[in-house]
Each structure stands twice: as structure tokens, then as C-alpha cells.
Structure 1
């Protein structure tokens, strides 16, 4: 449903009367405003924190009501009850890990002030749903009302999925996975000496799915003592990537290992006989839960889920083995204060205070990349990471024996123990999901840290990032924006010369035609680039053929993505001591040439042409928009990551990658250019907004409006929320 306003509309909203509780919120502070701009971004103007949280819950419902409520249902472990048996596997995993029970306990552990904020956020959600029932689909209304515990359960579930997905645990927890590939991200912090203006600059550039749990929501919160702009995953009560007038930070997913599997040795043929630990038989802790399942015909059935716990954690059967799962973020109390830590980070004004907050250790993963107005930059490899007494990463990436209690870790690494750099001599810090050693040049000394703290991995996108930064001595704000949009393919630089050197010997005229196209190609993945689609197809065929060759030689061979830069593929594999010049060259030239013939055949079958442009095939598609695409994926070494998947018409559609983008210069005043690539709402628009995909197609950003004057000049809808708060919502039942 659309609402059109000639000017600014005024909406007064009154809160519902709620059940009296023992923990009332403070008396009403004021009337928070939401000023919605022409890009669909809410600018929340409030007097007190709880007012802002209330308005933030309201705003998320206006833009993402159905998605938010669906995510909360899944965090309860009740997705199958509301949406059918497709959600049953996810419900089992959520119940197995005990996430709803943890949320109940952790809610009670919140500091009083932040507990009030969570209550206010839930109130904003519930009040919007009652005032605007037309904006909430019938399928999700049964999930209401939302409680503060739902908020904690949701953010816990999301972070559990992130941690499990980058470890071996993701493979054994059904339903806890990403929509597409693993989450990625780029992040740069440029120091004063590397900046043309002498001001520090920050690039925030998460790469996530354009759908579902990973959807981001761009928001501006203006309180008397903080001007905070950034983005949050839908359902989060706080901004998770943000900047204020003094500092800012972004996150990149790091290759930490926060989850381990233990192979249990059962004491007999039946689980009720227990398991061996330190030479003794231990009994499992056993509990059960009932999961309701909505069938296609509307009938409701139930399943009794029996949950067993060993000393290490909950138990699951996988591939014929009984495994116990130990997740660091669920095995400690640290995660209880995760949302409060993000809120406090947004209120910090200098590096000292910011690091004091980080030292709390409440964020379960993510590198923290930081810059501030005082000319400081920081990159901290961060997370809730176990202190393991023995073994390297390879040892812990496989299930370890479960009958030795010495392998059951209990303590976590402290912030001061983790790899980090502050104001490095290079003048810059970066991460694109590789190991922390590559955050700057020269690389960090990896031998100073435990061998099981992180996987020693990198990827072509990160190597391209290093090359772009190492090739310059300074960068301007405009040059940073241009670098962020770079579509140059490092893989083409690594491999194409070898491929072109063997093409003349072929007697296939189509191979010669392909070589002629590539000689003219600028090795970019721009919309107008001819040769890009042919190269991406060849790359896919080359990787597939190389893996198949390895399996023929060794049927037990298992490919993992970290091998992609190794000797199986490259004649000169990646060498961490030479990250700017390795890897390069084809390990098997005849195989590569045969892969080219296969790519040629497929491209001709699909399009009838070898010189088709990238934008003719790769399309930026969402909500009816269909524009020529640019950018490509990590393996091709393209910094501007947009991943495309096959669409019904045979073309490729954008599905993953660049989401929220922010380029910030910490001048006085701070200036920033931003874009939420896929737009800021999954609900039908409540007023017409500009189309961000049009800017994405042009590789452009837009100004971040942060002053009251800027905002007032671009308001599309104004809401003034009036509510009384003598009662809280925590006693409402679901």
C-alpha cells in the first residue's frame, strides 16, 4: 500500500496500555520523530535512548515487518509452527542449542538502562503492528506480540549462524546456514598520512545476501549527545556498522574458529548407556521439547525432540557418528552484552574509550576496522575465540576425540591477546576476509599468535585490495570512492597471459577469436566490458576441471576454497611472504585450453556471441528494476563484489554482495557518501523513493544526510510518535 504526500505528513501514535510489571520504564521522556527521506531512510530524532529504541523498532516494522517477525519466529524455534515443515530442521537446531532459553536468562542479566531500551524497541514493534495491521501479512500476525527476549534470541541466532558457517559446525547443524555463499566484506581505514586531505577515512563495505536474514537496514539516530549513522541487520535493536561526529567502524567476517566438534565414544549400543570421558562412563543430560508443525493442509502436528548434552555441549548424529557441538559464543556469558556493546561503540568519542568498550569482548566475531577525527586508525581481529591448549587450526577443523576432557576448552582469549594494528607505518589498514596477518604491509608476524587462533587463509579479492593500496602513496575522498567500485580482475592478471600464450598453437578458429577478444579486454567487469563473461565462464570450467583431475588422481581428495590459490591451480602458488606477486601462472595449460573450448561452446549456445558485454548477461534486478550489472565475485579477484546467479530467462541476476556502502572522511564536519544497494525496505513502499540500483549501475553513491537542515530539505514523510511508558511489555504472552 502506498501513501503519497504533497508535503510532510504528521502522524501521532499512542502506545497500547500494557500489563503492569515490577520493572517499569521511566516516565515518558518526549515524542521521538521519524523523518523519512527520499531514499526511504529513517532519521530518528529523540531526547533519550529509550525514545530512539522505540522509534527504531517502529521504523523497522514500517520497512520490514514481515521479514522481522518471521526472523523472530525462527529465533523462538517455532518456524515450522507458523510457516510449515520446511522450517523444521532450523527449529530443531535452535532448540538443540538452547537459544530461546539462553535469551530468557540473558535478558535478566541486562543492565537496567539497556533492558529498558530493549523493552522500548519491542514496544515500537508491537505498537506499529496494532496501528498499521494492513502493513503486516496475516501469516505473521500470530507471532505478535514481540518480547525483549525475542530480540536477544534473534541476535543470538544470527551470530550463531555466522560463527557456525565459517567453521566445521555449519555442516552438521541443519537449517542454520546462509542463503548463498559465506558472508564477505571489504573494509579500509586510511590514516592521515595516506589521505590527500590529511583526514582519516573509512570504507565500510559488507557483502551479504540481498534477501532474508542478512538484509541490512540503513538508519540515522540523532540524540542530544550523539549523531549516529549506519546500518543494522533487520531485527537488531542497534546499529552494527556506524559512524558519529568523532569516529566510525565497520566489520569484516574473519576466519576465526569459534566452534568445535567432538567425536563421542558411546558406552554401549544405546544412547541411554552414556559415553566415555576420561576412562569413565558419563550419562547424557537429557531433556525434551515439543515442536509444532503446520502441514500443507493446515493441520497442526507435533514432534517430540529429545535433546542430549555431553560435557562438551549438545549432541547430534551426523554421517553415522555421534558428535558433541561446542560453540564459544553460547558457552560463555559474554554474548549477553553484545547489543549493549554495539550501542556503546556508537557513543564513543575517541580511540581510548572505543578500545575500552572492545575489551569487553562481547562481539562473537568480526574484525573491527576503525578511524577517527583525531587521526587514528585501528584494525582489531576480534571475536569470542577459545583458548585451546593444543593443536593447530587443521587439528581443530576436524572432529576431535571426545573422551579426553583436556580438549574441552573453557576460557576465551582476551582482547589484548588478539592480533591488531594501530596507526601502522604504511598509513592504511584493510581486510577482505583473509587472515589478520594481511591487514597491512609488511604483514604481521603470525608466529606471535597461537596456531589455532585463526585459519591462515586469504582470497583473490583481498590480494587485489592489498595491491590497490600498496600501489599508492596517497588517496583522496573521490579516489577512495572510485577504488571501492573497482571491477578490475586480479585473476585475469594472474592467468590470462599464460592462456593467451598457448592459444596461437590451437587449430580451433574459435579459440583464436576468443584470444582476439581478450587482447582487447581491459580486464574489467564493467557493464560494457567485452570478454568478461567469456573469462568468468572459462574460470568456472577451469576450476571444475582441475578439481575433477585431482579426484581422478585421488578419490579421497576433498576440495576446500582455501586451496584455490595453491599449486593445484597455479604454477606459482600463493606465498604469504610475497602477497603482491603471487599466485600466478597456469599449473596445467592443456587443461586450461580445454576449459576454454568448453566455455566457448556454452557461451555460443547461450547467447550466440563470444563478445557479448558483461552487462548484457549480468543484470541488477530487484523489485522490477532490470539494469546492466557491474562487479563480480571474490574468486575472480574483483573488489566490487556483486555475485550473480542464473535467472529464469537465462541471464544472471544480482543476488549477493555489495549491500550497505559507506565512505566517510573524518573532517570537521564529517562528510560521507553512502548507498544501500538493494534499497531500504522489503515491504511494499509506503511512498515513492529513488531507486538505489540506478546509482549502483552507475557506480555512484549519495550523500549521507546527517544535519537537521539537510534532513528537513529531503523529508518525504514525518512521524511523531507519542507514547506513555508507565508499564513495560515484558509480561505479555506470545
Structure 2
């Protein structure tokens, strides 16, 4: 029996070695990048009384270095996730969900795009990214106990740029195409004016010769890189001085996740080279994406033009070649290793990544499908965002926007001269006119004339400057309601090939109504509009309510129905039916936003009633008991709904049945240019400046103000922040 014991011992040793190998292979397999070129950076970081960093440097690069240091001090936890995504290693941190992002990283060739395009950027833009990488590396070196993955640092500017290449297409919904294709499900796409003969319908991903649509499945690939795909949100308002009592106003009210890789981080930057800007960025960016400088400001909302085309490829019997213009071509093939953390080990999962002349290729049971999207293979947005940060006039600002380097998002603009503008910015594919093809369907992949190059001309996009109404807005709605009667654009003036959306949101209907009714849009009036919690009985709300009215119910379900029908169409925490309405609305909104089947009213009503009776013992608890803003030990009541101007869009359901908000009103910035005065602004975050540092006094210090609809001062000017400084220090690169 000795040999049996020895064999068992040997097996245990082998298993232990295997576990050790799986636990340690990934850092050695994924070696660190080359560090940025060695140079000295120095920045001053002054934090105001809310911990918001004001970062000063002699050069723009010095300031970008300071941005990385300040952000790392507040949220190095999230910054590392973003760096891991930018290097295809997020699965080693986040397991299967992270591996999905790593697969997308390889599929769209984010690293290859950065390697090709980053060296082409102007030297001063690249200097910004190298300095930012140097700041990340310095913080990681000084805080080794916080580093999640071995060999994640050092990083360089190209690594940071790869993160931009990964994220940019997901802001216009690339995940809503990749996910169904991976699963073999229908594509549900809704865009602008109908092209004759091509109605807006679910698009079946069909096998050759199969005319039946595949059943809609629940499987999807969800990539948390943009706004919540099911519940897009953001509001933006600009008011000219003639309508605002002499004051030019810009209100930025972006709706992003409250935590994570696309949560806003507030900062003010200033350099001796003329870069002076207050606003917010995402983790992994050396510059703000929205806000203001001394002269002008802008904010963004997500738009949804038809930016993506899908082609079904004709493969030969080997499955390795596809036909194009009568010739067989080899599919480009690359095998990648995805690290997937499972408990204490990291599994190496091999996946094949395919590409054709069209773009990335996904195979499923029904064939091979190629994807092509606006801005594919481009990275000039890194330069364009930097330049608009430093623009001093509308002409300078628009010159950068007209490059269409920033692939999508609406821009709402205002400046000290009183100019306001709305640009439906999008690098929409330049599809050939006169070519017979259903651009909203699955295109034949064997025709090269359907492989477009470049984008439409900037001049063809919807754009409004200084409307007669004196106001502009967007709430993720069609650009054809933006400025009021007499100032709006006509849909028929724009090519249907652009796929410009015609949809409205409740926020849009409410904003349009309230802005149109106001004789003057002063601060008090705009505050009432911004924090409005009402729904209009239109669109999906009307359809849901009509379904409740028609519902035949008995017993407890009838009681729930009658309560829901007593709802006053507000989410203001004042009404017995607000809680049940809040639970009902979100799925109906999500179906409408995403062109999905309308939910069953009885089923959703029953689910809402069950939730309330299970966790609250009643159907009509105050909505403020249900909807909460939670961080650490702070637990506060919240108002607003999934599609109200005061937005509480999505939430997680806690063990106690409360809804802990995770997406909705996030960073709010209110900017004003008064006659003869310097620019001033106020802002708020839902939590604080240090969202992942529980020991920081700025972990939760803005929550009460956020709940109470209040804003704090932005200390844009140096003398103002010095008067409110809670901490002031100089940082410099380590020897």
C-alpha cells in the first residue's frame, strides 16, 4: 500500500502545482509595457473644501501628470480596472464579465488601432498622454499594496490611448449589435425616417435561405463602457441672454453610472500654456470631456444615429474564406488568450478573433457576420477633445468638432458672447447614394460597393446656432425638437441614409413643454425644469396606463391595479401610488428605448405588488422609503423616476428590498456668464470626490446637497480656490 500512498501524494502535489500555475501564469504571460520617456513633471494640487482637485502645472503635460496623481488618490481602484481593460486583462480582475470586455477589446482591435494611430497624433497631444501615464505609474510605484494585478504597471501613453479606442464605439451602441450576434439572436434596431421599402422592424439573424426570424433570447453581451444601454439618459440646456434675463446659461446634466469606469470625476485644470478648464472626465482620461473654460462651455448627451452596418458573409466549405466581388478571400484569424478569474485561479481561455475587409467578424450557428461602424480604426478624438478644451471662441470650437473626430454624442454649447448652439455630432458612415441596399437590415457581404469609407460631411448634420426661441435642449431625443416652434429643424431636410432617430423621451416632452411655456428662463425657472419629476401621458407611459385600464383583475391584483390607476404621474415622493409606478415604469421605458417587445402589464404589475408586499408589508409605502441613495453608512431618500428630468434611472435591489440608485443624475454643472462678470459655475456629485475611499471625508460629503437639489460653488479662479483650500501640495516625478 506504500505505492498507493506515494501515488496519492504525488497526485496532490501535481494538483497543487497546477493550482499554483493557474494562480500565477497571467502576470508573467502579460508583461508590463515600456514606461513613458523619462522626464520631470511637477504639478500643484489644491483641493477645495469638498476635496475637488484643482491641478496647476507650468505646461499642459505637467497638469496632465497632476490629473493622474489626484485621480489616483481618490479612485485608484477604478483607474486600475480601466488600465486592465486597456490592456486586455480585465478578466483577471472581474472574471467572466471582465473577459467579455477583453474579448471586445480584441474583436475591435483596440490595441492595433492605438498602435497604428497614436504615433500620428500631434506631439503635444501625445505629451499629455505620456505625462498622464507617468502619473499613474508613480502612484502605483508608491502604493504597491493597492495594485490589483502584477505587471499592470508601468503603462505608457499608447496604453491609455488603447482605452479610448476600446470605449468609443460602445457609446453609440456597438454592444447592442455584438451581443445578439454572439448569441445568434435578432437585432433590434430603430433609427430615423423610413427608407421606402425598408420598415423599422426586428432584424432576423438568419441562416442563408432561412426566412424565419430567430426567437428573441435573453442572452446578451453587456459591456459597461457607455451609458446604460437599456436606459440611456442625459439632459442638456442652453439659454441665450435675451431669454435668460441677460445671463447666458449652460446646464450639464449627464446621466452616467454613479460608480465605475464611466463615472464622472470632477476637476479643474490650469497650466502656464493657457489650458484652464473646469468639468469632469472619466477614469483613464488626462482631460475633461465636458464643462467650461473662461470663454465657453459645452455638455453632451448620447445620440443614436445609424452608425453600424452588419454584413452576412458567404463562406466556402472550409469556413475560412469569404467571397467578395466573386473572389475568395481568407478571413484574418488571430487566436487570443482571455484571462478569466475563477476563485483563486485565473483560467487561460483561448478564443479566435476573425476579421474581413468589412471589419470584425462574429460566427454563430447561422453564419458569419461582419460589423462596420462609424469611426472604425480612428483615434483622432484624443486630439479633438484636447483642442476644444483650449478653444476661445465658437469658431475655434466648431472647427475642431467639424473634424468629426469625436465619433458621436450631441453637443450643447454656450459662451460668454451669448452664442448658444446644438450640434448633432456623429461620424455617420458615408453610405453611397443610389445603391440598392437595406442599410437597416443584414447586408450582403459579397459586394465591395457596400463597404463604405469615411463619414458624411459635417455640414450635412443637424445643427442649430442662436435660435429665435433663445433656448436649446436635448434629452436623448430626436434632434428635430431642440429649439421650439419656429426654430426646429425639419426631418425631411436630412438624408434617410443617416438613420437619425425620431424617438422622444418623457424627459424630452417635459423639457420641450416647460421651456416653450416659460416667458423668461431665469435661474429659478430653470431649476424647476431641471428638477421636474412629472411624466406626460404619452408614448410608452400612455400605453402602459391604457394597459392597466384595460386589465381585468381580481383580488390582490385588482387592488394593485386600482392603486396604480390613482397615480398622479409624478415621481415626487408625494402620492400613495408613486412607489408602485416607479417599479412599473422602468421595463416599459427600456422596451421603448430599445425597440423590444412591450412587457406584459399584468406580469409587471404582479411583480411590483409582490416586491412591495414582501419587503414593506403594503402596496403603498412612501416612494422615499423605496428609492435610496446609499454610500457607506449614509442612506438617504431620493426622488425622480426612470425617465424624468430629475432622473433616478436604474438601481440595484438590496437585501432589504430598497432600490439603491446606480445610474441617473450624476455630475451636474450649472454655468453662467453674467454681463460684465467672469464666468461662474456650480456643481454637484451624488457621493463625493473620493468615491472608493471610505476613510476620506469626501466619500459622502455631497450626498445631502444632491438629495436637496442644491449645488456647490466651482472655484474656477485660483484666488477662489486658495480661499477655500483644504489641502495644498506640490507633486513631482520620482528620481
Counterpart of 1:208? 256
Deviation at 1:369, TM superposition (A): 0.6
C-alpha distance in 1 between matches for 2:617 and 2:580: 12
**Does 2:120 correspond to 1:109?**
yes
Q: Please show how residues 307-456 of structure 1 align to structure 2 within 5 Å.
A: 307-331=353-377, 335-389=378-432, 395-442=438-485, 443-453=488-498, 454-456=500-502
Counterpart of 1:271? 319
**Does 2:717 correspond to 1:710?**
no
C-alpha distance in 2 between matches for 1:208 and 1:497: 26
C-alpha distance in 2 between matches for 1:151 and 1:24: 17
> Residues 20 and 621 from structure 1, CA distance in 2 versus in 1: closer, same or farther, beyond 3 angstroms?
closer
Contact 1:503 1:512 in 2 (8 A): no
The partner residue of 1:222 within 270, 283, 294 is: 270
Counterpart of 1:698? 708
Contact 2:268 2:278 in 1 (8 A): yes
Moved more, 525-534 or 105-114: 525-534
Deviation at 1:78, TM superposition (A): 2.0
Deviation at 1:380, TM superposition (A): 0.3
Contact 2:47 2:728 in 1 (8 A): yes
Moved more, 658-667 or 496-505: 496-505
The partner residue of 2:673 within 666, 690, 695 is: 666
C-alpha distance in 1 between matches for 2:335 and 2:564: 63
Counterpart of 2:180? 171
Counterpart of 1:232? 281
> Residues 260 and 608 from structure 1, CA distance in 2 versus in 1: closer, same or farther, beyond 3 angstroms?
same
**Does 2:54 correspond to 1:43?**
yes
C-alpha distance in 2 between matches for 1:410 and 1:81: 37
The partner residue of 1:254 within 268, 278, 303 is: 303
Contact 1:166 1:255 in 2 (8 A): no
**Number of equivalenced pairs:** 655
> Residues 392 and 696 from structure 1, CA distance in 2 versus in 1: closer, same or farther, beyond 3 angstroms?
farther
The partner residue of 1:147 within 144, 156, 170 is: 156
**Does 2:165 correspond to 1:156?**
yes
Moved more, 489-498 or 48-57: 489-498
Q: Please show how residues 539-554 of structure 1 align to structure 2 within 5 Å.
A: 539=585, 543=588
Counterpart of 1:580? none
C-alpha distance in 2 between matches for 1:620 and 1:663: 22
Contact 1:514 1:610 in 2 (8 A): no
> Residues 470 and 318 from structure 1, CA distance in 2 versus in 1: closer, same or farther, beyond 3 angstroms?
farther
Moved more, 371-380 or 442-451: 442-451
Counterpart of 2:135? 124
Higher relative contact order (CA 8 A, sep 6+): 1
Q: Deviations over 1:42-99 (max 9, x none)?
A: 1112221111011011111111112111211112112234554543332222112211
**Does 2:664 correspond to 1:657?**
yes
Q: Secondary structure at the match of 2:705?
A: helix
Contact 2:108 2:166 in 1 (8 A): no
> Residues 222 and 608 from structure 1, CA distance in 2 versus in 1: closer, same or farther, beyond 3 angstroms?
same
Counterpart of 2:519? 473
**Structure 1: runs of 5+ lacking an equivalent:** 1-17, 548-558, 570-590, 726-734
Contact 1:247 1:372 in 2 (8 A): yes
**Does 2:535 correspond to 1:486?**
no
Moved more, 597-606 or 99-108: 597-606
Moved more, 406-415 or 361-370: 406-415
C-alpha distance in 2 between matches for 1:669 and 1:62: 31
Counterpart of 1:645? 652
Counterpart of 1:282? 329
Q: Secondary structure at the match of 2:173?
A: helix
Deviation at 1:630, TM superposition (A): 0.8
The partner residue of 2:642 within 619, 629, 633 is: 633
C-alpha distance in 2 between matches for 1:513 and 1:183: 29
Deviation at 1:632, TM superposition (A): 0.9
Q: Secondary structure at the match of 1:424?
A: coil
Contact 1:647 1:653 in 2 (8 A): yes
> Residues 49 and 684 from structure 1, CA distance in 2 versus in 1: closer, same or farther, beyond 3 angstroms?
same
> Residues 366 and 199 from structure 1, CA distance in 2 versus in 1: closer, same or farther, beyond 3 angstroms?
same
Please, what is the CA RMSD of the aligned residues? 3.4
**Structure 2: runs of 5+ lacking an equivalent:** 1-32, 183-219
> Residues 116 and 226 from structure 1, CA distance in 2 versus in 1: closer, same or farther, beyond 3 angstroms?
closer
> Residues 215 and 172 from structure 1, CA distance in 2 versus in 1: closer, same or farther, beyond 3 angstroms?
farther
TM-score, normalized by length of structure 2?
0.81
Counterpart of 1:676? 685
Moved more, 31-40 or 601-610: 601-610
Contact 2:54 2:267 in 1 (8 A): yes
